[in-house]
Amino acid sequence: MNQSKDDASLVLLDFPADGVARITLNRPAARNALNSALRRELKNTFHALKKEDSVKAVVLRGNQTCFAAGADLKEVAQLGSLAVSRLSVLEFWKVIASFNKPLIAAVAGSALGGGCELAQHADIIIAGRNARFGQPEVNVGIMPGGGATQRLVRALGYWRAMHLILTGESIGADEAVALGLASKVVDDDTLDEHVIELARHIASRPPIALRYIKEVTQAGADVALATGLQLERRAFEQLFDTADQKEGMRAFIERRKPNFIGR
């Protein structure tokens, strides 16, 4: 897959480490607001990375001052409900939600509204110290439409999630970690370096195991505990038919670094 270097592109793609792809939102003048064109490019990028076997983990970031400020209100302010439904926004979210490789969000600056929901689609959220998270949709007469009413309740619990959604208030990085909305806080000037190293570490793990871990964890969140445990056990057993399982355990016994090949 080729590296994107065109500054006119709304989504930039590069490969900063072996097995790692990095997606950068590139609409700085609009604070990376999610308009139709940006969503379309982002959807196509995730589609392509899903099919790229050399990519084992993906980083998603904005710029140093803003991750993503939410939906582009200039695009939707005057639309009616039918016109909004024709924007195919739900399809965009489904593509990212079904992405089957580890996804790390590197959040610097504001992650608000749809930007906060975009971060919530990641498996790990690393926040710079200046990051802010929030769902301010109620402040402009609407409500979250990219999954926050469901994902935030599952992640934070009902009362904490409702406090954010009903007030439209934003919170800083430290509070986001304390509440469970982010995984870790790092200094702003080390955010990119930290996230790339984390992604490189994850990408060095066996790809099939990574995929099964993500699939079972996500599927288990919406079923009874007994069903989730059964899904986990079946996936666990199936991994014993992979070459990577044999290599990983052999390397452990022989006290050497494993060489995983994704089979």
**Residue 70 Ramachandran class (φ > 0 left, ψ -120 to 50 alpha, else beta):** left
pTM of this structure:
0.93
Give the domains, in start order, of the chain with CATH numbers: 11-203 (3.90.226.10), 207-254 (1.10.12.10)
CB 156 within 8 A of CB 181: yes
Catalytically active residues are 71, 114, 117, 137
CB 108 within 8 A of CB 131: yes
- What is the distance between the alpha carbons of residues 175 and 152, in angstroms, rounded to a whole number? 14
Of 108, 107, 97, the closest CA to residue 147 belongs to 97
pLDDT of the chain, 263 residues: tens digit per residue: 655 555 579 999 999 999 999 999 999 999 999 999 999 999 999 999 999 999 999 999 999 899 999 888 888 888 888 888 888 888 899 999 999 999 999 999 999 999 999 999 999 999 999 999 999 999 999 999 999 999 999 999 999 999 999 999 999 999 999 999 999 999 999 999 999 999 999 999 999 999 999 999 999 988 999 999 999 999 999 999 999 999 999 999 999 999 999 89
CA atoms within 13 A of residue 238's CA, in its CB half-sphere: 13
